[in-house]
Amino acid sequence: MMSEEGSRDLIALPEAGMNNEIPSNGGVPVIGVESVDINSKDKDREKPAILVGPCLNGDSKVNTGAEVGNSEVEYIESENLNDVEDVDTSLKTLLTGLESKDWVLVCEALNDVRRLSLFHKEAMVDMLGNVISLVVKSLKNPRSAVCKTAIMASADIFKAYCDSIVDLMDPLLVQLLLKSSQDKRFVCEAAEKALIAMTTWVSPSLLLPKLQPNLKHRNPRIRAKASSCFSRSVPRLGVEGIKAYGIENLIRIAASQLSDQLPESREAARTLLLELQNIYEKALNVTPPPVVSEDPETISVSGDPVTISWEHFCQSKLSPLSAQAVLRVTNLTREGIVLAS
């Protein structure tokens, strides 16, 4: 009896009577497969290889294709990208490449999106909506090479177009939040970089309203990543921007995340609350009022402006339970700093 190991080495032979001749024109079909290591548990190879060989179909004819030899999909960092050779040709073939069923061509087109974004962003403006839709499609692709290249393209789009893509970014944002929480490490890391690029290059006043609905997303992982992005974006508003947005609104949003399911959401909320407390006390020149009773109220001291403590502000703007949770976070941290000093 043949062993299991031996049976794996068998190669399927063509059916009897099938014509195995290769056409005289010498065309060699291309078979795109991912390189596989049978001893590795990682099914997602970061650099899938392209193998070339004959492929016979059911009607005894050979599927012809261009011979590309052994090649690999390269993940090129933005600073190492070269300009496209011909802008007009790249623009004409871009959408076709992004829609291709050949994943290698899709990756090449995604890299052209990156090059055009960085070197010729004005030339791609008119087709940016279609490009972003197809980038989102590639983000959903189960092949890791396509997905990661699309993520890198997203980061370069944020860097190049900044606020001008805000109206187009909703589906892109959801996919990046999802990919940044996946188990595939190299995909996750790329998505994190893309989200950092987003919070760096898109104005927080425009980005926060886009992030806010995702703080209540039914997927807890999306909520967690959205919380991190939200917490990272708020300080970029500056004092005047926070006043315009409404510091009480930001405190309420952070308070709602303190009881979230995932630790990442809760930690992002704590970080944001401490930042808001710091800005509140510095920007409004608030000093803790003298304690004249066990229940201190807002007081006016002769010659001094009226001041409202952080504690009183939170109690006046939040529900009792939310105020208690917020003050527990901020007061414990403050006490810890005092003790450490």
Instruction: Give pLDDT tens digits along the chain (341 positions).
Output: 444 444 444 444 444 444 444 444 444 444 444 444 434 444 444 444 333 333 333 343 333 333 332 246 779 999 999 999 999 999 999 999 999 999 999 999 999 999 999 999 999 999 999 999 999 999 999 999 999 999 999 999 999 999 999 999 999 999 999 999 887 899 999 999 999 999 999 999 999 999 999 999 999 999 999 999 999 999 999 999 999 999 999 999 999 999 999 999 999 999 999 999 999 988 755 554 454 555 555 554 444 566 788 999 999 999 999 999 999 999 976 555 444 44
What CA–CA distance (Å, rounded) separates 116 from 125? 10
What CA–CA distance (Å, rounded) separates 141 from 22? 33
Please, what is the Cα angle at 189 between 185 and 190, to 5 degrees? 120
Among the four given CATH numbers 3.40.190.10, 3.30.70.360, 3.60.15.10, 1.25.10.10, the one describing domain 75-202: 1.25.10.10
What is the token pair recorded at 108? 């090449």
Place of tokens 């700093």: 337
φ, ψ of residue 31 in degrees (nearest 5): -115, 120
Is residue 149 classed exposed, middle or buried when 0-12, 13-18 and 19+ CB atoms within 10 A define those classes? buried
Contact 24, 2 (CB under 8 A): no
What CA–CA distance (Å, rounded) separates 195 from 172? 10
Rg (Cα) of the chain, in Å, rounded?
28
| Per-residue pLDDT tens digits for 35-48 | 444 344 444 444 44
Is the model's pTM score more than 0.75? no
Please, what is the Cα angle at 135 between 46 and 236, to 5 degrees? 95
Neighbours of 136 (CB within 10 A): 20
Q: Which long-range contacts (CB under 8 A, 24 or more apart) does 258-264 make?
A: 258/325, 258/326, 258/329, 259/325, 260/220, 260/223, 260/224, 260/227, 261/220, 261/223, 262/220, 262/221, 262/223, 262/224, 264/224, 264/225, 264/227, 264/228
What CA–CA distance (Å, rounded) separates 106 from 144? 12
Residue 187's closest CA among 144, 135, 221? 144
Contact 145, 189 (CB under 8 A): no
Report domain extents, the chain. 15-72, 75-202, 209-290+304-341
Say which DSSP state 49 is in: E
Residues in CB range of 198: below 8 A, 6 or more apart: 155, 158, 169, 173, 176, 207, 229
272 membership: H or E segment, kind and range: helix 263-283
